[in-house]
Chains A and B, each alone.
Chain A
Amino acid sequence: MLTPEEQREIEEEAAHYPVRRAACIDALRVVQKHRGWVSDESVRDIAEFLHTSPEDIDSVATFYNLIFRKPVGRHVIMICDSVSCWVMGYDKMRDHLKSRLGVEMGQTTSDGRFTLLPVVCLGACDRAPTMIVDGQLHANLDPAKIDQILERYE
Protein backbone atom coordinates (compact mmCIF):
# COMPACT_ATOMS: atom_id res chain seq x y z
CA MET A 1 0.00 0.00 0.00
CA LEU A 2 1.21 3.47 -0.81
CA THR A 3 1.13 5.65 2.29
CA PRO A 4 -1.12 8.75 2.27
CA GLU A 5 2.00 10.90 2.07
CA GLU A 6 3.32 8.97 -0.96
CA GLN A 7 -0.09 9.22 -2.62
CA ARG A 8 -0.23 12.95 -2.01
CA GLU A 9 3.26 13.51 -3.42
CA ILE A 10 2.59 11.40 -6.54
CA GLU A 11 -0.77 13.09 -7.05
CA GLU A 12 0.94 16.49 -6.93
CA GLU A 13 3.30 15.42 -9.75
CA ALA A 14 0.55 13.77 -11.80
CA ALA A 15 -1.49 17.00 -11.75
CA HIS A 16 1.18 18.69 -13.84
CA TYR A 17 1.06 16.27 -16.77
CA PRO A 18 -1.74 16.00 -19.33
CA VAL A 19 -1.55 12.19 -18.96
CA ARG A 20 -1.63 10.60 -15.48
CA ARG A 21 0.77 7.78 -16.39
CA ALA A 22 3.49 10.34 -17.23
CA ALA A 23 4.14 10.71 -13.48
CA CYS A 24 5.61 7.18 -13.51
CA ILE A 25 9.26 8.15 -12.92
CA ASP A 26 8.26 10.74 -10.32
CA ALA A 27 6.22 8.05 -8.57
CA LEU A 28 9.16 5.63 -8.52
CA ARG A 29 11.37 8.37 -7.09
CA VAL A 30 8.79 9.23 -4.41
CA VAL A 31 8.51 5.60 -3.27
CA GLN A 32 12.27 5.15 -3.26
CA LYS A 33 12.74 8.35 -1.26
CA HIS A 34 10.52 6.95 1.50
CA ARG A 35 11.48 3.25 1.37
CA GLY A 36 15.03 3.20 -0.01
CA TRP A 37 14.07 0.93 -2.92
CA VAL A 38 11.13 -0.16 -5.08
CA SER A 39 9.67 -3.59 -4.28
CA ASP A 40 7.39 -5.75 -6.48
CA GLU A 41 4.55 -4.70 -4.22
CA SER A 42 5.34 -1.01 -4.78
CA VAL A 43 5.47 -1.58 -8.53
CA ARG A 44 1.93 -3.03 -8.36
CA ASP A 45 0.75 -0.18 -6.13
CA ILE A 46 2.15 2.51 -8.44
CA ALA A 47 0.59 0.78 -11.46
CA GLU A 48 -2.81 0.77 -9.82
CA PHE A 49 -2.46 4.38 -8.70
CA LEU A 50 -1.48 5.58 -12.20
CA HIS A 51 -4.02 3.34 -13.98
CA THR A 52 -1.54 1.19 -15.85
CA SER A 53 -0.03 -2.31 -15.61
CA PRO A 54 2.76 -3.49 -13.26
CA GLU A 55 4.68 -4.67 -16.36
CA ASP A 56 4.54 -1.16 -17.76
CA ILE A 57 5.87 0.35 -14.52
CA ASP A 58 8.57 -2.33 -14.18
CA SER A 59 9.80 -1.77 -17.75
CA VAL A 60 10.43 1.83 -16.76
CA ALA A 61 11.82 1.08 -13.27
CA THR A 62 14.43 -1.32 -14.66
CA PHE A 63 15.53 1.14 -17.36
CA TYR A 64 16.76 3.88 -15.04
CA ASN A 65 20.08 3.68 -13.18
CA LEU A 66 18.90 5.53 -10.09
CA ILE A 67 15.84 3.37 -9.40
CA PHE A 68 16.72 0.42 -7.15
CA ARG A 69 14.67 -2.75 -7.66
CA LYS A 70 16.57 -4.58 -4.90
CA PRO A 71 16.95 -3.60 -1.24
CA VAL A 72 19.92 -1.36 -0.43
CA GLY A 73 21.76 -0.50 2.77
CA ARG A 74 21.06 2.54 4.96
CA HIS A 75 23.51 4.52 2.83
CA VAL A 76 24.21 4.12 -0.87
CA ILE A 77 27.71 4.85 -2.16
CA MET A 78 27.89 5.40 -5.90
CA ILE A 79 31.42 5.74 -7.23
CA CYS A 80 31.99 7.31 -10.64
CA ASP A 81 33.58 4.83 -13.07
CA SER A 82 33.60 7.07 -16.15
CA VAL A 83 36.55 8.29 -18.11
CA SER A 84 37.93 11.32 -16.23
CA CYS A 85 37.68 9.56 -12.87
CA TRP A 86 39.22 6.46 -14.44
CA VAL A 87 42.20 8.51 -15.65
CA MET A 88 42.54 10.04 -12.17
CA GLY A 89 42.58 6.76 -10.24
CA TYR A 90 39.10 5.25 -10.07
CA ASP A 91 40.56 1.70 -9.83
CA LYS A 92 42.41 2.51 -6.59
CA MET A 93 39.40 4.24 -5.01
CA ARG A 94 37.10 1.33 -5.94
CA ASP A 95 39.55 -1.23 -4.55
CA HIS A 96 39.94 0.77 -1.36
CA LEU A 97 36.17 0.95 -0.87
CA LYS A 98 35.76 -2.76 -1.59
CA SER A 99 38.41 -3.84 0.90
CA ARG A 100 37.38 -1.29 3.51
CA LEU A 101 33.72 -2.36 3.34
CA GLY A 102 34.41 -6.05 2.63
CA VAL A 103 31.99 -6.15 -0.32
CA GLU A 104 32.09 -6.44 -4.09
CA MET A 105 30.46 -3.85 -6.35
CA GLY A 106 26.68 -4.21 -6.13
CA GLN A 107 26.74 -5.69 -2.63
CA THR A 108 25.60 -4.46 0.80
CA THR A 109 27.71 -4.72 3.95
CA SER A 110 26.56 -7.44 6.38
CA ASP A 111 25.50 -4.80 8.94
CA GLY A 112 23.28 -3.15 6.32
CA ARG A 113 25.17 0.12 6.61
CA PHE A 114 26.43 0.62 3.03
CA THR A 115 25.63 -0.52 -0.50
CA LEU A 116 28.43 0.00 -3.06
CA LEU A 117 27.44 0.73 -6.66
CA PRO A 118 29.10 2.20 -9.75
CA VAL A 119 27.63 5.32 -11.37
CA VAL A 120 28.33 7.07 -14.65
CA CYS A 121 30.11 10.44 -14.90
CA LEU A 122 28.92 12.75 -12.11
CA GLY A 123 29.77 15.96 -13.95
CA ALA A 124 32.51 16.96 -11.50
CA CYS A 125 35.44 15.86 -13.69
CA ASP A 126 37.59 18.81 -12.62
CA ARG A 127 37.51 17.33 -9.09
CA ALA A 128 38.07 13.64 -9.99
CA PRO A 129 37.96 11.04 -8.58
CA THR A 130 34.42 11.41 -7.27
CA MET A 131 31.55 9.55 -5.60
CA ILE A 132 28.14 10.35 -4.17
CA VAL A 133 26.85 9.09 -0.83
CA ASP A 134 23.07 9.35 -0.39
CA GLY A 135 23.03 11.86 -3.22
CA GLN A 136 25.75 14.09 -1.81
CA LEU A 137 28.86 14.66 -3.92
CA HIS A 138 32.34 13.94 -2.55
CA ALA A 139 35.25 14.95 -4.78
CA ASN A 140 39.05 14.94 -5.02
CA LEU A 141 39.01 11.54 -3.32
CA ASP A 142 41.97 9.69 -1.89
CA PRO A 143 41.91 6.64 0.40
CA ALA A 144 42.35 8.69 3.60
CA LYS A 145 39.56 11.07 2.57
CA ILE A 146 37.26 8.13 1.77
CA ASP A 147 37.84 6.77 5.30
CA GLN A 148 36.92 10.14 6.81
CA ILE A 149 33.76 10.37 4.71
CA LEU A 150 32.59 6.88 5.67
CA GLU A 151 32.87 7.81 9.37
CA ARG A 152 30.10 10.36 8.89
CA TYR A 153 27.47 7.77 7.93
CA GLU A 154 26.10 5.56 10.73
Chain B
Amino acid sequence: METPLTAKIRPDGEMIDLAAYERAGGYQAARQAMQMAPADIVEVVKKSGLRGRGGAGFPTGQKWSFVPSGPDSARPKYLVANGDEMEPGTFKDRVLLEGDPHELVEGMIISARAIGAERGYVFLRGEYTDAGERIERALHEAKSEGYLGQNIFGSGADFDLRLHMSGGRYMCGEETGLLNALEGKRANPRAKPPFPQVSGLFGKPTIVQNIETLCNIPHIVEKGPEWFQKLSLTGDAGTKLYGASGKVKKPGCWELPMGTTMRELLEKHAGGMQDGVQFRGALPGGASTDFLTADHLDVPMDFTAVAKAGSRLGTGTMIVLDDKTCPVGMVWNLEHFFAQESCGWCTPCWSGLHWAEEILAAIEAGRGSTEHLARLDHICKMIAPGNTFCALAPGAAEPLQSALKYFPEDFERHIREKRCPWRDGR
Protein backbone atom coordinates (compact mmCIF):
# COMPACT_ATOMS: atom_id res chain seq x y z
CA MET B 1 0.00 0.00 0.00
CA GLU B 2 1.46 3.34 -1.08
CA THR B 3 1.39 6.39 1.20
CA PRO B 4 2.86 9.17 -0.97
CA LEU B 5 1.78 12.07 1.27
CA THR B 6 3.34 10.78 4.47
CA ALA B 7 6.15 8.52 3.17
CA LYS B 8 8.92 11.05 3.86
CA ILE B 9 7.75 11.99 7.37
CA ARG B 10 10.30 11.08 10.04
CA PRO B 11 9.18 8.74 12.81
CA ASP B 12 10.88 10.87 15.48
CA GLY B 13 8.55 13.83 14.91
CA GLU B 14 11.28 16.16 13.61
CA MET B 15 10.73 17.86 10.26
CA ILE B 16 12.49 16.53 7.20
CA ASP B 17 14.91 19.22 6.04
CA LEU B 18 15.72 20.21 2.48
CA ALA B 19 18.74 17.94 2.03
CA ALA B 20 16.90 14.87 3.29
CA TYR B 21 13.80 15.79 1.30
CA GLU B 22 15.84 16.00 -1.88
CA ARG B 23 17.69 12.74 -1.13
CA ALA B 24 14.25 11.10 -0.93
CA GLY B 25 13.41 12.42 -4.40
CA GLY B 26 11.94 15.75 -3.38
CA TYR B 27 11.78 18.71 -5.83
CA GLN B 28 12.15 16.38 -8.84
CA ALA B 29 8.47 16.99 -9.67
CA ALA B 30 8.99 20.76 -9.45
CA ARG B 31 11.93 20.52 -11.88
CA GLN B 32 9.80 18.43 -14.20
CA ALA B 33 6.87 20.88 -13.96
CA MET B 34 9.12 23.82 -14.91
CA GLN B 35 9.67 22.10 -18.27
CA MET B 36 5.92 21.65 -18.81
CA ALA B 37 3.45 24.14 -20.27
CA PRO B 38 1.12 25.46 -17.54
CA ALA B 39 -1.96 24.19 -19.40
CA ASP B 40 -0.45 20.69 -19.44
CA ILE B 41 -0.05 20.71 -15.66
CA VAL B 42 -3.71 21.74 -15.28
CA GLU B 43 -4.66 18.92 -17.64
CA VAL B 44 -2.71 16.31 -15.64
CA VAL B 45 -4.36 17.42 -12.39
CA LYS B 46 -7.79 17.40 -14.06
CA LYS B 47 -7.23 13.87 -15.37
CA SER B 48 -6.08 12.65 -11.96
CA GLY B 49 -9.53 13.30 -10.50
CA LEU B 50 -8.06 15.07 -7.45
CA ARG B 51 -10.81 16.71 -5.38
CA GLY B 52 -10.18 19.36 -2.71
CA ARG B 53 -9.34 17.90 0.70
CA GLY B 54 -10.58 20.85 2.77
CA GLY B 55 -14.13 19.59 2.97
CA ALA B 56 -16.07 20.67 -0.10
CA GLY B 57 -14.39 18.24 -2.52
CA PHE B 58 -14.36 20.52 -5.56
CA PRO B 59 -12.29 19.13 -8.47
CA THR B 60 -8.91 20.86 -8.24
CA GLY B 61 -7.97 20.93 -11.94
CA GLN B 62 -11.35 22.34 -12.85
CA LYS B 63 -10.95 25.13 -10.28
CA TRP B 64 -7.57 26.03 -11.78
CA SER B 65 -9.02 26.19 -15.28
CA PHE B 66 -11.23 29.14 -14.20
CA VAL B 67 -8.17 31.36 -13.70
CA PRO B 68 -7.88 33.77 -16.63
CA SER B 69 -4.70 33.19 -18.62
CA GLY B 70 -2.97 34.95 -21.49
CA PRO B 71 -0.89 38.12 -21.74
CA ASP B 72 -3.84 40.47 -21.09
CA SER B 73 -5.08 38.73 -17.92
CA ALA B 74 -4.86 40.52 -14.56
CA ARG B 75 -1.58 40.34 -12.61
CA PRO B 76 -0.24 39.40 -10.18
CA LYS B 77 -2.10 36.15 -9.66
CA TYR B 78 -2.08 34.64 -6.19
CA LEU B 79 -1.91 31.12 -4.80
CA VAL B 80 -2.94 30.65 -1.17
CA ALA B 81 -2.53 27.51 0.93
CA ASN B 82 -5.36 27.21 3.43
CA GLY B 83 -3.70 25.94 6.61
CA ASP B 84 -6.37 27.30 8.91
CA GLU B 85 -7.44 23.80 10.07
CA MET B 86 -9.96 25.02 12.66
CA GLU B 87 -12.72 22.49 11.97
CA PRO B 88 -13.23 20.85 15.38
CA GLY B 89 -12.08 17.25 15.40
CA THR B 90 -9.65 17.81 12.52
CA PHE B 91 -5.91 17.28 12.89
CA LYS B 92 -4.71 15.97 9.53
CA ASP B 93 -3.04 19.00 7.91
CA ARG B 94 -0.99 19.46 11.09
CA VAL B 95 0.68 16.11 10.32
CA LEU B 96 1.81 17.33 6.88
CA LEU B 97 2.69 20.88 8.00
CA GLU B 98 4.89 19.72 10.87
CA GLY B 99 6.28 16.58 9.27
CA ASP B 100 6.98 17.56 5.66
CA PRO B 101 6.73 21.32 4.99
CA HIS B 102 8.82 21.00 1.81
CA GLU B 103 6.13 18.81 0.27
CA LEU B 104 3.73 21.74 0.66
CA VAL B 105 6.26 24.22 -0.74
CA GLU B 106 6.92 21.97 -3.75
CA GLY B 107 3.17 21.49 -4.30
CA MET B 108 2.75 25.26 -4.25
CA ILE B 109 5.61 25.87 -6.69
CA ILE B 110 4.02 23.48 -9.19
CA SER B 111 0.49 24.83 -8.65
CA ALA B 112 1.74 28.40 -9.05
CA ARG B 113 3.33 27.40 -12.35
CA ALA B 114 0.02 25.87 -13.50
CA ILE B 115 -2.06 28.99 -12.81
CA GLY B 116 0.65 31.57 -13.49
CA ALA B 117 0.82 32.84 -9.88
CA GLU B 118 3.76 35.04 -8.97
CA ARG B 119 2.88 35.44 -5.31
CA GLY B 120 1.74 33.00 -2.70
CA TYR B 121 0.83 32.83 0.97
CA VAL B 122 0.67 29.98 3.42
CA PHE B 123 -2.23 31.00 5.64
CA LEU B 124 -1.69 29.23 8.95
CA ARG B 125 -3.81 29.23 12.09
CA GLY B 126 -2.14 31.18 14.89
CA GLU B 127 -2.06 28.27 17.32
CA TYR B 128 0.11 26.13 15.00
CA THR B 129 3.35 27.64 16.28
CA ASP B 130 5.53 24.56 15.65
CA ALA B 131 4.23 24.27 12.09
CA GLY B 132 4.85 28.00 11.62
CA GLU B 133 8.52 27.68 12.61
CA ARG B 134 9.01 24.69 10.32
CA ILE B 135 7.38 26.38 7.34
CA GLU B 136 9.57 29.45 7.88
CA ARG B 137 12.58 27.16 7.90
CA ALA B 138 11.46 25.36 4.75
CA LEU B 139 10.81 28.69 2.99
CA HIS B 140 14.27 29.90 3.97
CA GLU B 141 15.92 26.70 2.73
CA ALA B 142 13.99 26.75 -0.56
CA LYS B 143 14.81 30.43 -1.14
CA SER B 144 18.52 29.80 -0.51
CA GLU B 145 18.54 27.12 -3.22
CA GLY B 146 16.70 29.35 -5.70
CA TYR B 147 13.53 27.27 -5.61
CA LEU B 148 11.57 30.35 -4.51
CA GLY B 149 12.00 34.00 -5.41
CA GLN B 150 13.10 35.16 -8.85
CA ASN B 151 13.81 32.97 -11.86
CA ILE B 152 13.07 29.79 -9.93
CA PHE B 153 14.85 26.66 -11.17
CA GLY B 154 16.19 28.89 -13.93
CA SER B 155 12.75 28.88 -15.54
CA GLY B 156 12.43 32.65 -15.86
CA ALA B 157 9.33 32.54 -13.65
CA ASP B 158 9.11 34.25 -10.23
CA PHE B 159 7.31 32.91 -7.19
CA ASP B 160 7.43 34.80 -3.90
CA LEU B 161 5.99 32.72 -1.04
CA ARG B 162 5.22 34.10 2.45
CA LEU B 163 3.81 32.73 5.69
CA HIS B 164 0.85 34.51 7.31
CA MET B 165 -0.06 33.57 10.89
CA SER B 166 -3.76 34.09 11.54
CA GLY B 167 -5.31 36.08 14.37
CA GLY B 168 -7.60 33.10 14.99
CA ARG B 169 -11.20 32.68 13.85
CA TYR B 170 -13.01 29.69 12.30
CA MET B 171 -14.33 31.95 9.52
CA CYS B 172 -10.77 32.26 8.17
CA GLY B 173 -11.09 28.73 6.82
CA GLU B 174 -13.87 29.86 4.49
CA GLU B 175 -12.27 30.75 1.16
CA THR B 176 -13.44 34.35 0.85
CA GLY B 177 -13.24 34.99 4.61
CA LEU B 178 -9.61 33.90 4.38
CA LEU B 179 -8.95 36.42 1.61
CA ASN B 180 -10.41 39.22 3.74
CA ALA B 181 -8.22 38.09 6.65
CA LEU B 182 -5.14 38.15 4.41
CA GLU B 183 -6.05 41.70 3.45
CA GLY B 184 -6.01 42.55 7.16
CA LYS B 185 -9.79 42.74 7.53
CA ARG B 186 -12.46 40.93 9.53
CA ALA B 187 -12.92 37.47 8.02
CA ASN B 188 -16.45 38.08 6.74
CA PRO B 189 -17.39 36.12 3.62
CA ARG B 190 -17.61 37.85 0.25
CA ALA B 191 -20.46 37.71 -2.26
CA LYS B 192 -19.90 35.28 -5.15
CA PRO B 193 -19.69 36.01 -8.06
CA PRO B 194 -17.12 37.26 -8.70
CA PHE B 195 -15.36 34.05 -7.75
CA PRO B 196 -11.84 34.31 -6.28
CA GLN B 197 -10.40 32.56 -9.34
CA VAL B 198 -11.24 35.74 -11.25
CA SER B 199 -11.26 38.41 -8.54
CA GLY B 200 -9.79 37.28 -5.22
CA LEU B 201 -6.95 38.59 -3.07
CA PHE B 202 -6.60 42.37 -3.60
CA GLY B 203 -9.00 41.97 -6.52
CA LYS B 204 -6.63 39.70 -8.47
CA PRO B 205 -7.14 36.12 -9.71
CA THR B 206 -6.57 33.82 -6.75
CA ILE B 207 -6.61 30.09 -6.06
CA VAL B 208 -7.07 28.88 -2.49
CA GLN B 209 -6.34 25.21 -1.78
CA ASN B 210 -6.22 23.03 1.30
CA ILE B 211 -2.83 21.80 2.54
CA GLU B 212 -3.47 18.11 1.82
CA THR B 213 -4.68 18.98 -1.69
CA LEU B 214 -1.46 20.88 -2.48
CA CYS B 215 0.72 18.11 -1.02
CA ASN B 216 -0.79 15.70 -3.57
CA ILE B 217 0.35 17.79 -6.54
CA PRO B 218 4.06 16.80 -6.74
CA HIS B 219 3.16 13.11 -6.67
CA ILE B 220 0.50 13.46 -9.38
CA VAL B 221 2.93 15.34 -11.65
CA GLU B 222 5.72 12.84 -11.04
CA LYS B 223 3.78 9.58 -11.27
CA GLY B 224 0.80 10.51 -13.43
CA PRO B 225 -2.99 10.60 -13.24
CA GLU B 226 -3.48 6.84 -13.78
CA TRP B 227 -1.21 6.01 -10.83
CA PHE B 228 -3.15 8.48 -8.67
CA GLN B 229 -6.50 6.94 -9.55
CA LYS B 230 -5.24 3.45 -8.75
CA LEU B 231 -4.35 4.52 -5.19
CA SER B 232 -8.07 4.61 -4.40
CA LEU B 233 -10.42 1.72 -3.68
CA THR B 234 -13.34 3.59 -5.28
CA GLY B 235 -14.14 6.16 -7.96
CA ASP B 236 -12.76 9.14 -5.96
CA ALA B 237 -9.01 9.15 -6.66
CA GLY B 238 -5.98 9.16 -4.38
CA THR B 239 -5.16 8.38 -0.80
CA LYS B 240 -6.78 10.23 2.11
CA LEU B 241 -5.54 11.31 5.50
CA TYR B 242 -8.16 9.85 7.84
CA GLY B 243 -8.38 10.32 11.56
CA ALA B 244 -10.37 9.27 14.59
CA SER B 245 -10.84 10.95 17.97
CA GLY B 246 -13.12 10.28 20.92
CA LYS B 247 -13.20 7.19 23.13
CA VAL B 248 -11.39 4.80 20.81
CA LYS B 249 -8.37 2.77 21.93
CA LYS B 250 -5.84 4.34 19.56
CA PRO B 251 -6.91 7.77 18.30
CA GLY B 252 -4.75 8.94 15.42
CA CYS B 253 -4.31 9.98 11.81
CA TRP B 254 -3.53 7.56 8.98
CA GLU B 255 -2.93 7.86 5.23
CA LEU B 256 -5.02 5.14 3.59
CA PRO B 257 -6.57 4.44 0.19
CA MET B 258 -9.55 6.69 -0.51
CA GLY B 259 -12.71 4.69 0.12
CA THR B 260 -11.50 2.83 3.23
CA THR B 261 -14.60 1.99 5.26
CA MET B 262 -15.50 3.60 8.57
CA ARG B 263 -15.42 0.10 10.09
CA GLU B 264 -11.82 -0.46 9.05
CA LEU B 265 -10.82 2.95 10.41
CA LEU B 266 -12.57 2.31 13.68
CA GLU B 267 -11.76 -1.34 14.30
CA LYS B 268 -8.38 -1.80 12.65
CA HIS B 269 -6.59 1.54 12.81
CA ALA B 270 -8.23 3.12 15.88
CA GLY B 271 -8.14 -0.22 17.71
CA GLY B 272 -11.88 -0.31 18.42
CA MET B 273 -13.78 1.37 21.24
CA GLN B 274 -12.26 1.80 24.69
CA ASP B 275 -13.21 -0.89 27.21
CA GLY B 276 -16.63 -0.31 28.74
CA VAL B 277 -18.06 1.92 26.04
CA GLN B 278 -20.03 1.16 22.88
CA PHE B 279 -20.06 2.94 19.52
CA ARG B 280 -23.21 5.01 18.95
CA GLY B 281 -22.25 7.17 15.99
CA ALA B 282 -19.66 9.47 14.48
CA LEU B 283 -19.31 12.77 12.69
CA PRO B 284 -17.35 11.35 9.73
CA GLY B 285 -15.45 14.45 8.64
CA GLY B 286 -15.32 17.06 11.39
CA ALA B 287 -17.85 19.09 13.35
CA SER B 288 -19.85 20.31 10.35
CA THR B 289 -20.87 16.90 9.03
CA ASP B 290 -24.03 14.86 9.72
CA PHE B 291 -23.83 12.00 12.22
CA LEU B 292 -23.60 8.50 10.81
CA THR B 293 -24.46 5.46 12.95
CA ALA B 294 -23.54 1.78 13.31
CA ASP B 295 -25.73 1.10 10.25
CA HIS B 296 -23.25 3.06 8.15
CA LEU B 297 -20.01 1.39 9.29
CA ASP B 298 -19.49 -0.29 5.93
CA VAL B 299 -19.82 2.92 3.94
CA PRO B 300 -16.59 3.64 2.01
CA MET B 301 -15.19 6.96 3.23
CA ASP B 302 -15.09 8.83 -0.07
CA PHE B 303 -16.93 11.94 -1.26
CA THR B 304 -19.59 10.05 -3.22
CA ALA B 305 -20.50 7.24 -0.81
CA VAL B 306 -20.59 9.38 2.36
CA ALA B 307 -22.84 11.90 0.56
CA LYS B 308 -25.12 9.05 -0.47
CA ALA B 309 -25.31 7.96 3.17
CA GLY B 310 -26.58 11.45 4.08
CA SER B 311 -23.42 13.09 5.36
CA ARG B 312 -20.17 14.52 3.97
CA LEU B 313 -16.60 13.22 3.84
CA GLY B 314 -15.59 16.71 5.01
CA THR B 315 -12.03 16.55 6.30
CA GLY B 316 -12.09 12.76 6.74
CA THR B 317 -11.29 12.96 10.45
CA MET B 318 -14.12 11.39 12.41
CA ILE B 319 -15.30 12.23 15.91
CA VAL B 320 -16.76 9.22 17.67
CA LEU B 321 -19.81 9.35 19.95
CA ASP B 322 -19.99 6.56 22.54
CA ASP B 323 -22.87 5.37 24.73
CA LYS B 324 -21.48 6.98 27.88
CA THR B 325 -21.43 10.43 26.29
CA CYS B 326 -24.58 12.56 26.08
CA PRO B 327 -25.53 13.28 22.45
CA VAL B 328 -27.44 16.42 23.49
CA GLY B 329 -24.42 17.73 25.39
CA MET B 330 -22.18 16.95 22.42
CA VAL B 331 -24.42 18.84 20.01
CA TRP B 332 -24.70 21.72 22.49
CA ASN B 333 -20.89 21.88 22.56
CA LEU B 334 -20.82 21.95 18.73
CA GLU B 335 -23.48 24.65 18.40
CA HIS B 336 -21.73 26.74 21.05
CA PHE B 337 -18.65 26.62 18.83
CA PHE B 338 -20.52 27.59 15.66
CA ALA B 339 -22.48 30.37 17.40
CA GLN B 340 -19.28 31.81 18.86
CA GLU B 341 -17.35 31.59 15.59
CA SER B 342 -20.14 33.00 13.38
CA CYS B 343 -18.85 36.29 11.98
CA GLY B 344 -22.21 38.02 12.45
CA TRP B 345 -22.45 39.04 8.81
CA CYS B 346 -25.84 37.47 8.01
CA THR B 347 -28.86 37.16 10.30
CA PRO B 348 -29.90 33.51 9.86
CA CYS B 349 -26.41 32.50 11.05
CA TRP B 350 -25.74 34.79 14.02
CA SER B 351 -29.30 34.77 15.27
CA GLY B 352 -30.22 31.19 14.39
CA LEU B 353 -27.09 29.65 15.88
CA HIS B 354 -27.41 31.58 19.13
CA TRP B 355 -31.02 30.38 19.46
CA ALA B 356 -29.93 26.82 18.77
CA GLU B 357 -27.24 27.07 21.45
CA GLU B 358 -29.67 28.57 24.00
CA ILE B 359 -32.30 25.90 23.37
CA LEU B 360 -29.78 23.07 23.64
CA ALA B 361 -28.46 24.57 26.89
CA ALA B 362 -32.03 24.63 28.24
CA ILE B 363 -32.69 21.01 27.26
CA GLU B 364 -29.38 19.89 28.77
CA ALA B 365 -30.19 21.76 32.00
CA GLY B 366 -33.58 20.04 32.30
CA ARG B 367 -35.59 23.06 31.19
CA GLY B 368 -36.54 21.68 27.78
CA SER B 369 -39.99 21.29 26.19
CA THR B 370 -41.28 19.43 23.13
CA GLU B 371 -41.82 22.83 21.52
CA HIS B 372 -38.05 23.29 21.71
CA LEU B 373 -37.55 20.29 19.45
CA ALA B 374 -39.85 21.78 16.82
CA ARG B 375 -37.93 25.05 17.08
CA LEU B 376 -34.57 23.33 16.60
CA ASP B 377 -35.98 21.64 13.54
CA HIS B 378 -37.19 25.02 12.26
CA ILE B 379 -33.75 26.62 12.82
CA CYS B 380 -32.08 23.82 10.84
CA LYS B 381 -34.37 24.60 7.91
CA MET B 382 -33.83 28.37 8.18
CA ILE B 383 -30.03 28.08 8.08
CA ALA B 384 -30.01 25.49 5.27
CA PRO B 385 -27.95 26.08 2.10
CA GLY B 386 -29.28 29.01 0.11
CA ASN B 387 -30.49 30.98 3.15
CA THR B 388 -27.12 32.16 4.39
CA PHE B 389 -24.12 34.06 3.03
CA CYS B 390 -21.59 31.23 3.39
CA ALA B 391 -21.37 27.56 4.39
CA LEU B 392 -20.79 28.07 8.14
CA ALA B 393 -24.43 27.92 9.23
CA PRO B 394 -25.47 25.09 6.88
CA GLY B 395 -22.46 23.20 8.26
CA ALA B 396 -23.61 23.92 11.81
CA ALA B 397 -27.04 22.49 10.97
CA GLU B 398 -25.57 19.14 9.92
CA PRO B 399 -24.68 17.63 13.33
CA LEU B 400 -27.86 19.12 14.86
CA GLN B 401 -30.35 17.90 12.27
CA SER B 402 -28.78 14.44 12.21
CA ALA B 403 -28.73 14.17 16.03
CA LEU B 404 -32.45 15.01 16.06
CA LYS B 405 -32.95 12.33 13.44
CA TYR B 406 -30.84 9.52 14.94
CA PHE B 407 -31.05 10.21 18.69
CA PRO B 408 -34.60 11.54 19.25
CA GLU B 409 -35.12 9.40 22.36
CA ASP B 410 -32.16 11.08 24.02
CA PHE B 411 -33.62 14.56 23.49
CA GLU B 412 -37.05 13.34 24.66
CA ARG B 413 -35.60 11.73 27.75
CA HIS B 414 -33.93 15.01 28.80
CA ILE B 415 -37.28 16.77 28.45
CA ARG B 416 -39.29 14.04 30.23
CA GLU B 417 -36.88 13.60 33.16
CA LYS B 418 -36.06 17.32 33.35
CA ARG B 419 -32.33 16.55 33.63
CA CYS B 420 -29.39 15.19 31.66
CA PRO B 421 -29.41 11.43 32.28
CA TRP B 422 -25.62 11.30 31.75
CA ARG B 423 -24.63 14.21 33.95
CA ASP B 424 -24.81 12.52 37.36
CA GLY B 425 -22.88 9.50 36.18
CA ARG B 426 -20.06 11.41 34.48
Contact = CB atoms under 8 A, between A and B. Distances in A.
Interface of A: 16-19, 21-26, 28-29, 59-60, 63-67, 78, 81-84, 86-88, 91, 119-128, 132, 135-137
B187 interface: yes
B169 A82 contact: no
Contact of A63 (B187, B246, B317): B187
B372 interface: no
A125 B128 CA distance: 14
B168 A65 contact: yes
A109 B167 CA distance: 25
B282 to A, nearest CB: 11
B253 A126 contact: yes
8 contacts: A21-B184, A28-B167, A66-B127, A66-B167, A66-B168, A88-B247, A120-B86, A137-B127
Given A25-B184, A126-B245, A83 B88 contact: yes
A60 B127 contact: no
Interface in B151-179: 160, 162, 164-170
A29 B132 CA distance: 14
B272 interface: no
Q: Which of A16, A87, A123, A136 has the most CB of B within 10 A?
A: A123
Sorted from nearest, which 8 A-B pairs have the closest CB atoms? A64-B167, A24-B184, A125-B245, A66-B168, A65-B168, A121-B88, A126-B251, A82-B88
A37 B362 CA distance: 35
A34 to B, nearest CB: 15
Nearest to B333: A86
B165 to A, nearest CB: 7
A87 B329 CA distance: 9
Contact of B246 (A66, A88, A137): A88
Contacts of B93: 123
Contact of B169 (A29, A64, A136): A64
A19 B90 contact: no
A127 B125 CA distance: 19
B187 A124 contact: no
Nearest to B244: A126
Contacts of B252: 126
A126 B91 contact: yes
A83 B99 CA distance: 25
Contacts of B247: 87-88
Contact of A123 (B94, B165, B287): B94
A83 B246 CA distance: 9
Contacts of B340: 120
B184 A23 contact: yes
A125 B169 contact: no
Interface in B201-216: 202
Given A23-B184, A123-B94, A63 B202 contact: no
Contacts of B373: none
Nearest to A118: B340
A82 to B, nearest CB: 4
